[in-house]
Amino acid sequence: MSPRTLSLHLALTPGIGGRTVARVIARNELLGRTATQFLNLAPEVWREEYRLTVKATEALRVADRAVTEASEREFAVLGLTWITAADAHFPARLEEFDPDPPGVLFLYGNLKLLDADTFCVLGSRGTTPSGLEKIEQLAEEGVLAGEVVVAGHDRPEYQRAAIVPLRWGAPRILCLDRGMYDVLGRDLKNEAFRAARLWRYEFDPRTDLVISPFRPSAGYHGINNQLRDRLVAGISTRIDIVHLSPGGNMDKLAKLALKCQRKLRVPADSPLITAGAEPLP
């Protein structure tokens, strides 16, 4: 088994998170230990040297390597790929932004967009109708300026931004709070949400990119949205926030942006202006 296949084997094993995957791959490289040698270690070594939990150790012990190899072949046919935080081409701007970035990202579509000038337009839950219109307006301004919008797929605040590029035939990056199969279908051909299907009947991987920090078959769980939001903001060169609730998730993202000196624009009456943010136009 190659190190890359091992990273997929670990990522697909229930109970093993992305950071653990990156830690295992990095330690194997440091020790010169092959993937096969790692898998043949005693479970006690996994726990002591690699800090795997008891649950993760047991799951890895019984994980079927043949299933991973079949998944790898399926991914190759679909064009689905993955990267770990131990890979040299892991998004640098995400690591700069997030003190605890996901250790594994599953990617489908136009990978060149990871190097593009990107932006996101965010809003806390319950953004007003006028706020949603503002999101759409700012998204259109960015798209027409040649920037690539980054958005989620399952909240009105994200959908209003994500639909704008479809009108102009422009690219976009969608970050998911669940696995790709759950959103795009098993063949990865579905558009991500209903309103988008009015503009395009199926997803176009030549134009767009979808990123998920969750296994392709994973469903949604309660805290997934927070990881999705950090991913959206983390890979965006500029962050616009139309509405943020004090102490809420968007407020936390804004403070992370200021800390890493990421360009941040917020409403003119926000106290974050005095902390270094710019006012929204």
Q: Return the closest-CA partner of residue 97 out of 260, 276, 277.
A: 260
CA distance linking residue 92 with residue 247, whole number of Å = 27
For residue 36, which phi and psi values (nearest 5 degrees)?
A: -65, -40
Q: DSSP letter string over 172-201?
A: EEEE-SS-HHHHHTTTT-S-SSGGGGGT-S
* Model confidence band, residue 15 (pLDDT cutoffs 50, 70, 90): confident
Q: Name the nearest CA neighbour of 122 among 220, 225, 266.
A: 266
What pTM was estimated for this model as a whole?
Answer: 0.92
**Rounded CA separation 164/35 (Å):** 44
State which H helix or E strand residue 270 sits in: none
Q: Where are the alpha helices (DSSP H) in 40-154?
A: 43-50, 54-62, 65-78, 92-97, 129-144
CB contact at 8 A, 86 and 25? yes
Q: 172 vs 67, 72, 116, 236, CA distance in Å?
A: 32, 26, 10, 11
Give the rounded distance of the alpha carbon of 103 from its chain centre: 10
Query: Is residue 200 a contact partner of residue 191, using CB atoms and an 8 Å limit?
Result: yes
H/E segment holding residue 233: helix 224-234
Question: Which tens digits make up the pLDDT trace of 34-86?
Answer: 999 999 999 999 999 999 999 999 999 999 999 999 999 999 999 999 999 88
User: What percentage of the chain exceeds 90 in pLDDT?
Assistant: 78
Give tens-digit pLDDT for 213-260. Answer: 999 998 888 789 999 999 999 999 999 999 888 888 899 999 999 999
- Number of helical H runs and strand E runs in the chain: 13, 9
Contact 123, 145 (CB under 8 A): no
Residue that the structure tokens 């970035």 belong to:
101
Tens of pLDDT, residue by residue over 136-191, are 999 999 999 999 999 999 899 999 999 999 999 999 999 999 999 999 999 999 99
- The pLDDT, as a whole number, for residue 148 is 98
CATH class of 109-279: alpha beta
Tokens representing residue 96 in the block: 């700069």
Domain ranges of the chain: 3-77, 109-279
Mean model confidence pLDDT for the chain = 93
Q: Are 253 and 233 in contact (CB under 8 A)?
A: yes
- Joined together, the tokens standing for residue 3 give 């190190």
How crowded is residue 145: how many other Cβ atoms within 10 Å of its Cβ?
9
